[in-house]
Amino acid sequence: MSKTVTLRVRRQDGPSQSSRWEEFKIPHQPGLNIIAALMEIQRNPVNAKGEKTTPVVWEASCLEKVCGACSMVINGQAMQACATLVDRISPNGDPITIEPMSKAFPLVRDLVVDRQKHFDQLKEIHGWIDIDGSHDLGPGPRMSPEDAEVMYELSRCMSCGVCYEACPNVNEKSPFMGPAIMSWVRRFNMHPSGKHFSKDRLEALMGEGGVNDCGNSQNCVKACPKGIPLTTSIAAMKRDTTIHGLIGFLQKP
């Protein structure tokens, strides 16, 4: 018999329904990733028991690990499904479990979750550079190649949500804003004209659920699919918010 891959998928028809496990057997092929395996289920929606079922609902788009859509919990860890090769995650052919992320984002259906929270946070932290208009005003401010490189590193964050899932301080009951957004504040505050609003951004991180709620577990930086130095960003924001708070205190009349 030709080699097969076994997927155990946690399924749920909607936010208020109960969840169940369903197992699938997929023909193995070299270089197969989790997305290609899920595509096989779409073409043949039959489970391992041979029963006809609905195709699994999942989210993906670019399949190149740059759009951030296909985050899933695979064998217990959040990661991008497109960049997860079956042979790498299950070299001995053990069953692979696939679940939706569950800690920071509400479930939509099967493997799809709602990550709107992250996009809303970008509003709260003044997540943009204040340009005077989109008409031609000549070049932007000069930057050293080194600064541009650090900013680029941070700008590669694709809002995938994996770091929220990995963080022990993020859960349904905690107000903690999560790691990614801290790094975005650092990124905007680094920019020569972004700096003009650094005060607003730092203050957004100083309330309840802000940067000081980070317990320093370092899970985020290990989990980040883009290798973004999240803990360095968090440390920098702890320092900057402390200085900002201190200056505010000293300036009090």
Partner 1 sequence: MDANRIIVVGGGLAGLMTVIKAAEAGVNVDLFSVVPVKRSHSVCAQGGINGAVNTRGEGDSPMEHFDDTIYGGDFLANQPPVKAMCEAAPGIIYLFDRMGVPFNRTPEGLLDFRRFGGTKHHRTAFAGATTGQQLLYALDEQVRRWEVAGKVTKYEGWEFLEAILDDEGVCRGIVAQNLRTMEIKPFAAGATVLATGGNGMVFGKSTNSLINTGSAQAAVYQQGAKWANGEFIQVHPTSIPAADKLRLMSESIRGEGGRVWVPKDGKPWYFLEEWYPAYGNLVPRDIATRAIFKVCVELKMGVGGENVVYLDVSHLDPKMLERKLGGVLEIYEEFVGDDPKKVPMKIFPGMHYTMGGLWVDYDQMTNIPGLFAVGECEYQYHGANRLGANSLLSTVYGGMVAGPKASAWMKNQAKVEVKPSVVEAARKRAQERYDSLIAMRGTENPYVIHKELGELMTNNVTVVRYNKNLEETLVQLDVLTERWKKINIDDAGPYSNQAVPFTRHLWNMLEQAKVITKGALLRNESRGAHYKPDFPERDDANFLKTTIAEWTPDGPRISYEPVDTSLIKPRPRKYDVDKQATATAAAAAVPSTLDAKLASESAESEDKKIKREAQ
Could you list the residues that contact partner 1 (CB under 8 A)? 13-14, 29, 31-33, 35-36, 39, 42-45, 52, 54-55, 57, 60-69, 82-83, 85, 108-109, 112, 115-116, 119, 122-123, 127-131, 133-134, 136-140, 142-145, 148-149, 151-152, 155-156, 158-159, 188, 191, 193-194
CA torsion sign for 31, 37, 38, 41 is positive
Report in angstroms how near the CB of residue 82 gets to partner 1 at its nearest.
7
Report in angstroms how near the CB of residue 64 gets to partner 1 at its nearest.
6
- Which of 72/214 has CB closer to partner 1? 72
- Which of 79/167 has CB closer to partner 1? 79
CA 176 vs CA 62, 171, 191, 209: distances in Å: 30, 8, 26, 4
Sheet harboring 20-27: ordered strands across?
20-27, 4-11, 96-99, 71-74, 77-80
Nearest Cα neighbor of 220 from 176, 159, 163 is 163
- Which of 17/217 has CB closer to partner 1? 17
Say how far apart CA 105 and CA 120 lie, in whole Å. Answer: 13
- Which of 136/172 has CB closer to partner 1? 136
Report in angstroms how near the CB of residue 3 gets to partner 1 at its nearest.
14
Report in angstroms how near the CB of residue 202 gets to partner 1 at its nearest.
17
- Which of 42/171 has CB closer to partner 1? 42
Say how far apart CA 65 and CA 162 lie, in whole Å. Answer: 12
At a CB cut-off of 8 Å and minimum separation 6, what does 207 contact?
none
